[in-house]
Amino acid sequence: MEVKTLELPKCKVSKTGLVFDESLTYDEWELIGKQLQNIHKSIAWFIGDWLNFGEIKWGEMYAQAIEETGLDYDTLVIYKFVANRIQLPRRRGNLSFSIHREVAPLEPKEQDKFLDLAEQNNLTRNDVRELIKEANKLPTPELPDGKYDCIVADPPWEYAQEQHGKEKQETVLETHYPTMPTEDICTLPIKDLSADNCVLFLWTTSPKLYEAKQVIDAWGFEYKSSMIWDKVKHNVGYYVSVRHEILLICTKGSFLPQSDKLIDSVQTIERSDRHSEKPMEFRKIIEEMYPNTKKIELFARTAPEGWEVWGHDADI
């Protein structure tokens, strides 16, 4: 990408407006208009580069950036992420920042492939998003045979643009792993996995709480109680800063805990940097509550000893 310096000849810029020199020519006035259009299109890049420079030189600067720009934390996170992932020479001036945001989580060669396609075919952001989702679509692995009386599930909830506004969630959430619509999660044959007496621990988030009830019903369970994971660190949210996730406890048949110890329903554990990874402490809690069970974790990220796992990302 050709790097050009923005110029505003015979023009002074303030926070509230522009002041022009009386000697300004028509050509100069026209140039300023084009440059202002470039600034409008590029402000996300500018702020992202500014934040990345500040972090390299002085460490994390979000508190200062919020104060100086007036932007919220989630917006700054995305600007910084995209600017960091796509370096200046590889950015396409004729494509929107939102299209770059779609490809930012990919490896550089894949980024270039989809940016080329967007340029050559005049694609919209939604077009690029669908192409990436289709390219990353994985066949659903077969569920194991047998019955389990303890099931843990961490579904890859799909966060729709219209639900979350400002389209903040896509880069931060969906592009980390293949997501599933709630109706597809509901149709998984979990009834075939569960014993007559079974406990289900189902992870959900605040935006997906009501949809989690659909999953519970479809899988043949009844909601009983919940635990809260306080992540300590700020987490992406729109209406509020959501720094917690919810672990719903559900049963099929009659299956009370096998231990008399009452576990604290709020667990304060700082989240890791690996997206969606749940703390090992919760597995230990489940093992303590139900020590004498055949356990399986669905949509697992790791394969802990004594558990069977199912999912694309399990490190088996």
Domain borders along the chain are 11-135, 148-310
Q: State the pTM of this model.
A: 0.62
State the pLDDT at residue 119.
Answer: 96
**DSSP one-letter code for 261:** P
State the pLDDT at residue 173.
Answer: 45
What 3-state DSSP class applies to 266? strand
Given the DSSP bridges, would you call strands 266-268 and 244-252 parallel, antiparallel or unpaired? unpaired
Structure tokens at 137: 């679509």
- Order of all β-strands in the sheet with 266-268: 266-268, 222-230, 244-252, 194-204, 148-153, 295-298, 308-310
State the pLDDT at residue 275.
Answer: 53
Beta carbons within 8 Å of 89's beta carbon, 6+ residues apart: 1, 3
Structure tokens at 189: 């044959």
What 3-state DSSP class applies to 295? strand
pLDDT < 70: residue spans in the chain: 1-6, 138-140, 160-178, 234-238, 273-276, 312-316
Instruction: Please count the residues of the chain.
Output: 316
State the pLDDT at residue 305.
Answer: 84
Beta carbons within 8 Å of 40's beta carbon, 6+ residues apart: none
State the pLDDT at residue 215.
Answer: 97
State the pLDDT at residue 127.
Answer: 95
**DSSP one-letter code for 157:** B
CATH number of this structure's domain 148-310: 3.40.50.150
Q: What is the pLDDT of residues 30-52, one digit of tens each?
A: 888 888 887 888 899 999 999 99
**DSSP one-letter code for 48:** H
State the pLDDT at residue 237.
Answer: 64
State the pLDDT at residue 28.
Answer: 87
The burial of 228, by beta-carbon neighbours within 10 Å (0-12 exposed, 13-18 middle, 19 or more buried), is given as middle
Q: From 299, 49, 13, select the one nearest 157 (Cα to Cα).
A: 299
